[in-house]
Structure 1
């Protein structure tokens, strides 16, 4: 493949966004560490094979710290968090947050998440159609993360708008709106932190504000960065896990029927949904801290490196019949939530939300079907999440 030709005609087009997997398959075979022009105008490397992906995600020579690459004066507040930091800052920031996502605390949320799923489906009433994303996949996780953080649920539509523009910032069509929405989001959070300082509660934002004031050195920018990450990542991954997962079942009705007949397969099914068409297509950015020879390619110091997680999860060298959607597949070590020190700390919560949402939906509407041809669905732009904007379904 020619780098420039593939960059301009294959990557990041509407056709690629709709189905990137044939492109990934070719790259894994012929050019697994591939130099490409990214939508924001920077050349960098895409890693497509599973084994290489794991190595890059764990290699400390690839930094997540934007300030090390561009200088602290050029970084957005949205990168002042554990996702975009290296040790020791990463350990400090993650430690402040992970206590809210322990296995026990997540397990204790099961009955409440079930109530939320039931209420959302009860709201459908006697209707026989719905937009799966707007009416179910989005509200369920945004309700949960809003309650964990202590932010007003009535502001969920604002969170969704701000999240979409921040996540899709790599899409040039959204770039000019990014600054406005980023400023609005920052102003909202700053005002909310002021309220919390006056009257802290038991929610996670209160804990973070108190931690900041008790000498744990969480700066105002770090507080903004951490909370914005939790709001965005706290619902985006699950929205697309539910959406992509249900879509895979609708495209493979024999798998849907099997899951209805054997609901105990739901744990396996969630893992397969994460592997088969995961909600996070690309890892966030890394930069080489030094000149690195990697799989025959010379990655220069400062160059951008991104892992194609969804490509790694379709690597036949790791997963037998990788392009086959099979909910009976044994639990796999997919990379949907990353790996290494930056493994998604909200993964257990996302899994639980996906499990409850999809199990409840199928139990209530076992005849659910896609209301349009799959080729007519519009996939979201941008370089991080992989998900459909709307999924119209027939319920009965």
Structure 2
């Protein structure tokens, strides 16, 4: 068992323009799926790029998220945004307690109950697009409004007039180099203040929404603290809003730049379920950004991770592992036995995965059915992509039909 780390390489790797996976991930995975990297803040960490090893990190309780709270851990953001009480920053049993409070809202059964409403939102947006005529920006006119309406407004109960501000707060919170540390902190404070006020309003005027349900869990059942309540609302808003919007826009771009796969989906719309799973596997959402700290020595692949060392599971690299996926760099909308971990794995498996699947299926399926001649209205090389943040996706995606 190798215990002395190889020389670390700089991370994150120079980003590509577009939704590809940087070649360095594959090179490291084939050479050493658990490798040392040097991050801009907090020092060195282990970057995990193999599928088997990544799943172990995500599922093994000896790799702790709670241990990053308040520490100068290796990271790609200037601020360590991990805080005590956040559902993303806790370990069991605290994580289990928090997750159970909202778990029934995010089950597959409940997601299916929401499908007709999501379809109504999608159809309304497509009607507006058709009336306005192209070319237009799919990000602003379609990709963003769907999760804003579904997660931010319908589930959390945020009034429509507050929606534009949420985009600004989320953009700053997810920044790596785009915003300064002070701007990130200010955005986080403003977001927290907004939810604090909304929570107080729901105490006075309960509604049929997730915020009201969490307020009852706090005030009547004492199942979470006030700070945990606020953090839960923040995490659900950012996780359910920005991630889905980026995926809708990026998946559309990928389909439009893979015409043979687009033609396959048009010819057989029933492929939409496997198509979404393949797109989640194939298209990277972010780089390895959520560190975990080993609480004891752990053998991982061919190395020993020492207690106190940080590991970064790279889901985008694990989803291209040749030992798991046949021809992993090829998009195959009919791929079977798709063991991707694009929604995570273990106790931190994405809480909103089932809702995200329904949103993506309805958005892409309805978009393609309504506009079978959908096409990019700009050269693919001219499309502006997000830079300086945790999430990947087009800033703007001009399309016509």
Q: What TM-score comes out, normalization by structure 2 length?
A: 0.90
Matched, 1:93 2:93: no
Change (3 A) 1:233 1:314: same
- Compare 310-319 and 13-22 and name the one that shifted more: 13-22
Residue 66 of structure 1 deviates from its aligned partner by 4.2
Matched, 1:7 2:10: yes
Which whole-Å deviations, capped at 9, do the CAs of 1:189-229 have from their partners, x for residues lacking one? 11111111111112110011111012424111101110000
Which stretch shifts more, 292-301 or 316-325?
Answer: 292-301
Indicate if the aligned counterparts of 1:98 and 1:345 stay in contact, CA closer than 8 A: yes
Structure 1 residue 277 and structure 2 residue 283: aligned? yes
**8 Å Cα contact 1:282-1:383 kept in structure 2:** no
Would the aligned equivalents of 1:147 and 1:153 in 2 still touch at CA under 8 Å? Answer: no
Question: Where in structure 2 are the equivalents of 1:1-396 lying within 5 Å?
Answer: 3=7, 6-7=9-10, 11-15=12-16, 19-66=20-67, 70=71, 76=81, 80-124=85-129, 125-145=131-151, 146-168=153-175, 170-171=176-177, 173-282=179-288, 284-381=290-387, 384-393=390-399, 395-396=400-401
Structure 1 CA distance, aligned partners of 2:84 and 2:392?
Answer: 20
Residues 217-250 of structure 1 deviation map (CA, whole Å, 9 limit, x = unaligned): 4111101110000111111221122122111111
Distance 1:39 1:231, change over 3 A: same
* Structure-2 separation of matches of 1:38 and 1:381: 17
Whichever structure has more helix as a proportion of its residues is 1
For structure 2, the 5+ residue unaligned runs are: 73-78
C-alpha deviation, 1:297, in angstroms:
2.7
Unaligned runs of 5+ in 1: none
RMSD: 2.3
3-state secondary structure, aligned to 1:44: strand
CA distance in 1, matches of 2:26, 2:343: 21
State the secondary structure of the residue aligned to 1:109.
helix
Q: 1:362 to 1:335 in 2, by over 3 A?
A: same
Asked whether the equivalents of residues 131 and 392 of structure 1 are also in contact (C-alpha less than 8 Å), the reply is yes
Equivalent pairs counted in the alignment come to 389
Deviation string 1:114-162 (CA, Å, 9 cap, x unpaired) is 1101111111214121111111111101100121111112211111111
3-state SS, counterpart of residue 197 of structure 1: helix
The alpha-carbon distance between structure 1 residues 96 and 43, as it changes in their structure 2 partners (threshold 3 A), is same
Moved more, 322-331 or 35-44: 35-44
Distance 1:201 1:148 in 2: 11
SS at match of 1:305: strand
Name the SS of the counterpart of 1:70 in structure 2: coil
SS of the equivalent of 2:10 reads helix
Superimposed CA distance per residue, residues 224-281 of structure 1 (whole angstroms, 9 cap, x where no aligned partner): 1100001111112211221221111111011111111110111011011001014344
Whether the aligned pair in 2 keeps the contact of 1:238 and 1:279 (CA below 8 Å) is no
CA-CA distance at 1:388 after TM superposition: 2.1
Distance 1:26 1:76 in 2: 30
Q: Are the structure 2 counterparts of residues 67 and 18 from structure 1 closer, same or farther at C-alpha, using a change threshold of 3 Å?
A: closer
